[in-house]
């Protein structure tokens, strides 16, 4: 049994008013949408609720209007693209009223104006939650990417209405559970990216949960430097040497093997295919060189590690992948992970803004078991934090509130 309720647990919902929290915070430039990923993610839940005859009231935020009405952040421009993705009509309401709701036909879909126009939303004001809940019969949270915030529409409503995870939320929670909740062992984690300081909590959480911790990117330089390697001009947080040492000691004690590159790709300038480009052993980096990628020999060894593992969680590129050829290690290891996933020997879960971009660049995002686009919420989950929006859904299981 899942630790949260899903749309399968809602029972008969014909004519019921369902408040659905979605993530419609789509990238927009000059009134045009550049990417409909989030709209497509909202589709399964909205379509299903509508097909089952509910009155579907879609709650979502857009931008940061800070509790004030500001038409620059209106959700109205999202209505037409959402209708196009759904292939059915979508209405729009400035505010929810009992009369407005009563006038809706069963199966109607209506987007409600930006939840953050209300000053109570981000304060998780219980009065606002109560008032909003009184207008609906059930609450569905389908926005994992907003679940690290305790706001009225992401958390508060779950305390006043029977609450259920939407299909996208369910998929995300299932994937995260499979990756770190109760993963099949051995488990590997790849943690890369620019800085150790931004991922300290991730490293600390992972080292007690995974068998192999693969450190790449700029972060690896800090660990190498802590081990006495001269990393030249590389991005490196020398002031974190002691922290890096502590992490390595704690990982050792926890039985987690830390993998650092032993060969690297270096250059004197960060540019595409620079003349100074070369591959060398980590002990041979010159004072005027920068480490910009993990070397080919290390990547091969890392691929062998993945072949022995059954679960992989990945956040952060292994190198400065935006510029060729410093994408090579990330692309190669991502392809190995994708191939192992396709063969059925590996469950692979990845997330993070640049990580998703890197996997798309490698052409393998679709071959991973799950790629999270949730950004901040994904990282907080990697840090082992309780996400308030998810915790509120979990409280529903076995609680009186669920006995509707």
Catalytic residues: 38, 195, 353, 376
Rounded to whole angstroms, how far apart are CA atoms 121 and 381?
A: 23
Structure tokens, 215: 């450190």
The yes or no reply on residue 325 touching ligand ADP (CB under 6 A) is no
The yes or no reply on residue 352 touching ligand ADP (CB under 6 A) is yes
- The rounded Cα 250 to chain-centroid distance in angstroms is 27
Structure tokens, 21: 């929290």
319 binds, among ligand ADP, Mg ion, none (CB under 5 to 8 A by kind): ligand ADP
The yes or no reply on residue 217 touching ligand ADP (CB under 6 A) is yes
The yes or no reply on residue 193 touching ligand ADP (CB under 6 A) is yes
Looking at beta carbons only, is 57 or 231 nearer to ligand ADP?
A: 231
One character per residue 22-51, x = contact with ligand ADP (rule: CB under 6 A): ------------------------------
The yes or no reply on residue 353 touching Mg ion (CB under 5 A) is yes
Structure tokens, 140: 């569905």
Looking at beta carbons only, is 164 or 314 nearer to Mg ion?
A: 314
Q: Phi/psi of residue 401, each to 5°?
A: -60, -25
Looking at beta carbons only, is 194 or 241 nearer to ligand ADP?
A: 194
The yes or no reply on residue 282 touching ligand ADP (CB under 6 A) is no
The yes or no reply on residue 9 touching ligand ADP (CB under 6 A) is no
Looking at beta carbons only, is 26 or 190 nearer to ligand ADP?
A: 190
CB of 316 to ligand ADP, least distance (A): 4
58: nearest Cα among 92, 12, 13, 33: 92
Looking at beta carbons only, is 168 or 315 nearer to ligand ADP?
A: 315
Which residues have a Cβ under 8 Å from the Cβ of 20 and sit 6 or more positions away? 45, 46, 49, 56, 57, 58, 59, 139, 140, 142, 166
Pick the binder of ligand ADP from 25, 50, 141, 315 (CB under 6 A). Answer: 315
CB of 350 to ligand ADP, least distance (A): 8
Pick the binder of Mg ion from 121, 122, 170, 354 (CB under 5 A). Answer: 354
Q: Which residues bind ligand ADP (CB under 6 A)?
A: 192-194, 217-218, 235, 291-292, 315-317, 319-320, 322, 352-355
């Amino acid at each position: 049994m899942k630790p949260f309720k899903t749309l399968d647990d809602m029972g008969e919902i014909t004519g019921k008013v369902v408040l659905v929290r979605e993530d419609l915070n789509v990238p927009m430039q000059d009134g045009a949408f550049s990417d409909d990923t989030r709209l497509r993610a909202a589709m399964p839940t909205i379509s299903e609720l509508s097909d089952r005859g509910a009155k579907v009231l879609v709650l979502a935020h857009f931008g940061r209007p800070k509790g004030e009405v500001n038409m620059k952040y209106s959700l109205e421009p999202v209505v037409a693209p959402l209708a196009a993705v759904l292939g059915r009509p979508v209405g729009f309401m400035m505010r929810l009223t009992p009369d407005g709701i009563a006038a809706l036909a069963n199966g109607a879909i209506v987007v409600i104006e930006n939840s953050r126009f209300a000053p109570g939303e981000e304060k998780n004001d219980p009065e606002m939650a109560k008032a909003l809940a009184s207008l609906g019969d059930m609450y569905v949270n389908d926005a994992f990417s907003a679940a690290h915030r305790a706001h009225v529409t992401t958390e508060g409503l779950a305390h006043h209405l029977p609450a259920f995870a939407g299909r996208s939320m369910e998929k995300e929670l299932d994937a995260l559970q499979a990756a770190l909740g109760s993963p099949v062992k051995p488990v590997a984690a790849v943690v890369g990216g620019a800085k150790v300081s931004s991922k300290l909590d991730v490293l600390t959480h992972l080292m007690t949960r995974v068998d192999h911790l693969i450190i790449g990117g700029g972060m690896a330089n800090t660990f190498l430097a802590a081990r006495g390697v001269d990393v030249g001009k590389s991005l490196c947080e020398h002031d974190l040497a002691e922290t890096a040492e502590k992490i390595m000691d704690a990982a050792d004690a926890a039985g987690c093997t830390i993998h650092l590159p032993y060969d690297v790709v270096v250059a004197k300038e960060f540019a595409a295919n620079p003349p100074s480009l070369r591959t060398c052993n980590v002990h041979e980096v010159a004072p005027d060189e920068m480490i910009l990628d993990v070397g080919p020999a290390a990547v091969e060894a890392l691929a062998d590690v993945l072949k022995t593992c059954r679960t992989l969680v990945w956040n952060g590129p292994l190198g400065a992948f935006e510029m060729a050829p410093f994408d090579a290690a990330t692309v190669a290891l991502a392809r190995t992970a994708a191939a192992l996933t396709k063969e059925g020997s590996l469950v692979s879960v990845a997330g993070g803004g640049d990580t998703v971009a890197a996997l798309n660049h490698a052409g393998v995002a679709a071959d991973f078991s799950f790629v999270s686009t949730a950004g901040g919420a994904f990282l907080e989950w990697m840090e082992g934090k309780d996400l308030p929006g998810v915790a509120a859904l979990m409280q529903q299981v076995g609680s009186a509130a669920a006995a509707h």
